[in-house]
Structure 1
């Protein structure tokens, strides 16, 4: 009986250790993801700044959706090839272009620069804080995947409805919900990489980039609304 107990306890400890130690492959995916993410964020910031400085018009909802999903399809298709990285830069550059007119709009508001900088600082603080928590605690947040997928889908459709029917209150509620959902996505994606659920750094980068993009624009909307009041 004692031998059996000792064996079960040792197995439990090994199992627990396996869930808290990042193996070499997961560490490599995590490192490559953060490296590519930092480069794409910088590239996106450049395209957003150029778009705002040149006063380029907003591409519109249909063109934005077509460009986003079209480039996302290409990224996924070539995810295991070098061309996939090129399409990641194309996607993030395009999203940066769509972000330029939005930033320009807020910069023309009273205290616009403060709103943009606060949104940027809030986005960075949330991302770094939640990523660090997921990495240090090594808790399993992958169980949130199904809930987050449904939540994002519902919020996305509600956001489109708010634009089409011009319902400011619904748009504001969607932004608040997106802040919570994107915070959950950061925990989920980081945990998924650490636990070996996501083994492709290209797709991991796109997921985290889209999360950061939506978090930033949602904070912009909320802070802009608060400033108008």
Structure 2
């Protein structure tokens, strides 16, 4: 009897995690659509302002701290979608620069590659249920190192080669974070829908920006 109860509880727990994954993927999809729509309308309307984009980035940064406290509520879901819209607006100056120099092809390639990589990683994580939770500490150290090197490069070194190398590092770390977050959600159930969707949204954004820089430098 106890084994039956244990199995029933395990199935129920797995069902809850499956629901969290489905809702998180749906929320991520809506947020990405909001980002693309906001970016597209900003681009065609010519509303491109680096200062406003910086403000949007700061709002996104602030949102990453208070959105988890909203929980899986309508307000929490709306806040994640709002972050997506802000990211779409914030990235426009960068996207416009690449389009003006190299055409829209490089942006489309980065978008399609980001989508393909994410779908592949998500499918692998969900199907295999492999445990990637142990790589969180390593990824955190790499992120801190990349931030420090990036700041040094921006203000002191100013090396285009180092900037490109950092783009590869950020792309790989973003892939690792996608696997890590999904693994935490699948194997531990410790992430809420809003936490998972918000984290994946940031990872997808960083992956897109990195690929855009990589493809842009390759074409250049």
Q: Does TM, scored on the shorter chain, surpass 0.5?
A: yes
Q: Secondary structure at the match of 1:59?
A: helix
Report matched runs for 1:160-171 at 5 Å. Answer: 160-165=151-156, 166-171=158-163
Aligned to 1:194: 186
The unaligned stretches of length 5 or more in structure 1 are 1-10
Deviations 1:161-204 (CA, angstroms, capped at 9, x unpaired): 33333332222111110111111111111111111343300010
Question: Are the counterparts in 2 of residues 59 and 98 from structure 1 also a CA contact under 8 Å?
Answer: no
Deviations 1:30-52 (CA, angstroms, capped at 9, x unpaired): 01000101100000101111222
Question: Are the counterparts in 2 of residues 71 and 90 from structure 1 also a CA contact under 8 Å?
Answer: no
C-alpha change, 1:65 and 1:99, in structure 2 (3 Å) is closer
RMSD, aligned α-carbons: 2.5
The reply to whether residue 52 of structure 1 matches residue 28 of structure 2 is: no
CA distance in 2, matches of 1:54, 1:162: 33
Q: How many residues align?
A: 212
C-alpha change, 1:183 and 1:174, in structure 2 (3 Å) is same
Question: Are the counterparts in 2 of residues 123 and 212 from structure 1 also a CA contact under 8 Å?
Answer: yes
The structure number with the bigger radius of gyration is: 1
The reply to whether residue 208 of structure 1 matches residue 200 of structure 2 is: yes
CA distance in 1, matches of 2:113, 2:54: 29
The reply to whether residue 105 of structure 1 matches residue 85 of structure 2 is: no
The reply to whether residue 125 of structure 1 matches residue 116 of structure 2 is: yes
Structure-1-length-normalised TM-score: 0.84
Aligned to 2:145: 154
The unaligned stretches of length 5 or more in structure 2 are none
Question: Are the counterparts in 1 of residues 57 and 90 from structure 2 also a CA contact under 8 Å?
Answer: no
Question: Are the counterparts in 1 of residues 121 and 178 from structure 2 also a CA contact under 8 Å?
Answer: yes
CA distance in 2, matches of 1:154, 1:73: 22
Q: CA deviation at 1:68?
A: 2.2
Q: CA deviation at 1:62?
A: 5.7
C-alpha change, 1:135 and 1:174, in structure 2 (3 Å) is same
Q: CA deviation at 1:65?
A: 4.6
Question: Are the counterparts in 2 of residues 123 and 215 from structure 1 also a CA contact under 8 Å?
Answer: yes
Q: CA deviation at 1:66?
A: 2.3
Aligned to 1:43: 34
Report matched runs for 1:66-77 at 5 Å. Answer: 66-77=58-69
